[in-house]
Copies of this chain bind each other. A is one copy, B any other.
Amino acid sequence: MSLATEALFRALADPTRLRCLLLLHAEGELCVCELTHALGESQPKISRHLAQLREAGIVSDRRQGLWVYYCLHPQLPTWAQEVLRVTAAGVTGDLPYAADAQALHDMPNRPGAVCCA
């Protein structure tokens, strides 16, 4: 994976994408409906941002029946993983990070996510 430095930061610059990535970093693998519910955003919005992340090589997707599961790209460069780790550890109150995770876990009828293959 080469992943341009600038490309990662452009991806992280949008709050919706950043929240998705932090959730994926913490949870491993999530499908679109879970992310939609956790962030409380519209489905097309989430889908569009996930497509951007996919095209940038930051996440990878896996279709399973009706659901599409996303996870951080397995070959994501170490430095990029480090950026996410450090960010997750240091988020201030400006991002609803904790609330997103809470909403995710409170979601009824979650499709059974396992782990990113």
Name A's B-contacting residues (CB within 8 A). 2-7, 9-10, 12-13, 15, 18, 77-80, 82-83, 86-87, 89-95
Contact = CB atoms under 8 A, between A and B. Distances in A.
Contacts of A89: 79
Copies in the complex: 2
Contacts of A12: 9, 12-13
Contacts of A6: 13, 15, 18, 94-95
Given A13-B6, A18-B6, A78 B92 contact: no
Contact of A95 (B5, B79, B80, B91): B5
A94 B15 contact: no
Contact of A79 (B7, B15, B86): B86
A87 B10 CA distance: 14
Nearest to A94: B4
